[in-house]
Chain A
Amino acid sequence: MGFPHPNHPKETIVLSQYFGDADARTYAGWVKRGGYEALKKALGMAPEAIVEEIKASGLRGRGGAGFPTGLKWSFMPKGDHKPHYLVCNADESEPGTFKDRELMRWTPHQLIEGCAIGAYAIGAERCYIYIRGEFTEPWRVMTKAVEEAYTNGALGANVFGTGKRIDIVLHRGAGAYICGEETAMMNSIEGRRGNPRIKPPFPAVAGLFGMPTTINNVETLTAVSHILNRGAAWYKGLCLSSPKSTGTKLFSVCGHIMKPGNYEVTMGFPMKSLIHDLAGGMRPGRRLKAVIPGGSSVPIMNAVEAEAALCDYEGIVAQGSMLGSAGFIVMDDSADIVYEIYRLAKFYAHESCAQCTQCREGTAWTTKILERILKGQGKREDLDLLLDLSEQMTGKTICVLSDSCATPIVSGIKKFPEEFDAYLSRAKAPALAAV
């Protein structure tokens, strides 16, 4: 099993404090470390007060969209006498991202506590945690932790003797990236194909089983107990740049990097330092060429943009990309940008649910055209064709998988035209064998 790196002095450790500490996985170990105090505190508060506290902290969704968490919670209806549901999105499948895996592997009770607080705050008695099918080890760790939480009264019909009911049900996915999209996830829990739903209605109005539902990412929910324990003002104060981006964030760094891993830093931390100091920089003799910072669904950044960016929602937008899920795919000067973009397009073509024509056809055809270019059979017009297809794939479908496929293609052609040109002019040998 992969093991976490020792903390770097420039990290701000909140969520990842107990990574690598096997004792923290147990209920007793978690309680010894101050665990479940926040849940006890929350159960003594009015649900509205918790929502206000989370709003005041500035916490935003860590799954990719960055929507303010407290605001999302406040959309849940009050006094409607319907069952409410909390769904925790643990379907982490965005290429480059591997933070939720580690949060569940090492600190399952941190997540359970966050889910329980979240459920209580939105008036839900049940929370489904949707864990992707391939996460066999996180599944085993979470299963054991949920059992322990029930045994110790942290979950069940009478949580810590307060008379309040909070149940957690683990639901295992079965291999579909699209189920990380919140409406597809609800369909998947309901026993349907994972096709995204048209919005509106939004989940807070009619979500899982037609009932008011909130969907939050693993990392978002794990932050909740810390905010209740230490206060919204403390969390809001964790900010190095834009006041709209607060708290700490786990950044997954992978690809061509000396020390791949998850690094927890305060929002607004310089990307240059994150890549070169914390993650150890490039391999000897190599230079940074590009970073795709948000998982794979965001524009590719060249080295100049990456080294100028500040790591928060606004800072990365200012340098032409998006924070997304904060999985940095780092590429040095040995990387073949055209090939990597092709590989991502292939990913999206494989993962398209095929519901919308633009996505089903667009992801498949962009993959085929990129393949043709890599086989040395590309034509000059292919770049315009790719851009035209990408245009048709953007903003026209039920969910954003199609946009996510188009984004690296468009930014890649724009920022690395010489790499495409090398194949089109036949100056570079084909990367794929022509069949």
Chain B
Amino acid sequence: MSGTAHAARHDAPDQPVFVGQVKDKLEALFPSYPTRMACLLPALWMVQEARGWISPDAIAEVATVLGLTPAYVRGVATFYTMYHLHPVGRHFIQVCGTSPCHLCGSDEVMKAILQQTGCGEVGATSPDDRFTVIEVECLGACGFATPILVDDDFHDSVTPERVAGVLARYP
């Protein structure tokens, strides 16, 4: 369970992320790369882990820390689909829907998840702010259809019947 990852997401976003341990963690990466720019993807991950999403203020902070411009950082962040550039629910659910999983009934799994989370439609956040659900392209676990990721937890062989049990683990 990684619900704690999102615990701080309502913090005022102008609080700096790269202080204390997070700063140390980023600086510990510097010797692993010949440029500061190469630490950009790891730095964005650190922001998302700390805050649950990557705000415009955090983008500006990452830019300052790594000696880049905010426009450049935003340009990179928008390329990668796993970075949340808007706040999401406490738990983020990714359901695979690419052909191999579709053959094995991922549409039905998605339907059950949308219904039981109260999200209603793909991409939406539930009214109680508990879940955001998206369809993801190939999770690389086609032999365990249908795989879903809830936050950082991987669940394989999910069927409509198993959905309730999985969701119950994420209050």
* Max chain B Cβ within 10 angstroms of own Cβ: one of A1, A93, A98: A98
Q: How far is the CB of B24 from chain A (nearest CB, A)?
A: 17
Taken together as a complex, chains A and B put the C-alpha atoms of A413 and B96 apart, in Å, by: 26
- Give the contact-size bracket for chain A: 35 or more
Q: How far is the CB of A278 from chain B (nearest CB, A)?
A: 13
Q: How far is the CB of B73 from chain A (nearest CB, A)?
A: 9
Taken together as a complex, chains A and B put the C-alpha atoms of A136 and B38 apart, in Å, by: 21
Taken together as a complex, chains A and B put the C-alpha atoms of A262 and B75 apart, in Å, by: 38
Contacts of A339 in B (CB 8 A): 102
A254 close to chain B: CB less than 8 A: yes
* Max chain A Cβ within 10 angstroms of own Cβ: one of B38, B97, B104: B38
A136 touches B152 (CB 8 A): yes
A93 touches B138 (CB 8 A): yes
Contacts of A262 in B (CB 8 A): 143
Q: Residue on B with the closest CB to A331?
A: B103
A169 touches B37 (CB 8 A): no
Taken together as a complex, chains A and B put the C-alpha atoms of A93 and B154 apart, in Å, by: 15
A253 touches B98 (CB 8 A): no
Taken together as a complex, chains A and B put the C-alpha atoms of A256 and B75 apart, in Å, by: 40
Cross-chain contact of B41 among A96, A97, A172 (Cβ < 8 A): A172
Q: How far is the CB of A211 from chain B (nearest CB, A)?
A: 9
Cross-chain contact of B157 among A2, A98, A126 (Cβ < 8 A): A2
Cross-chain contact of A132 among B99, B140, B144 (Cβ < 8 A): B140
Q: Known A133-B80, A343-B99; judge A95-B142 contact (CB<8 A).
A: yes
Q: Known A1-B156, A2-B157; judge A194-B140 contact (CB<8 A).
A: no
B40 close to chain A: CB less than 8 A: yes
Q: Known A190-B35, A194-B79; judge A252-B103 contact (CB<8 A).
A: no
Q: Residue on A with the closest CB to B43?
A: A191
A193 touches B79 (CB 8 A): yes
Stretch at the interface among A174-182, A239-247, A265-273, A420-428: A174-182
Cross-chain contact of A175 among B40, B76, B80 (Cβ < 8 A): B80
Q: Known A192-B76, A329-B100; judge A255-B142 contact (CB<8 A).
A: yes
9 pairs of A and B residues whose beta carbons are closest in the complex: A175-B82, A191-B40, A174-B80, A175-B81, A254-B142, A191-B37, A2-B144, A260-B143, A193-B79
The contact sample of 12 A-B pairs, CB cut-off 8 A, is A2-B141, A97-B140, A98-B141, A134-B94, A134-B140, A169-B33, A175-B81, A176-B81, A191-B76, A296-B98, A343-B99, A351-B137
> A residues near B, CB below 8 A?
1-2, 83, 92-98, 100-101, 126, 132-137, 167, 169, 171-177, 188-194, 209, 252-256, 260-262, 292, 296, 327, 329, 331, 335, 339-340, 343-344, 347, 350-351, 353
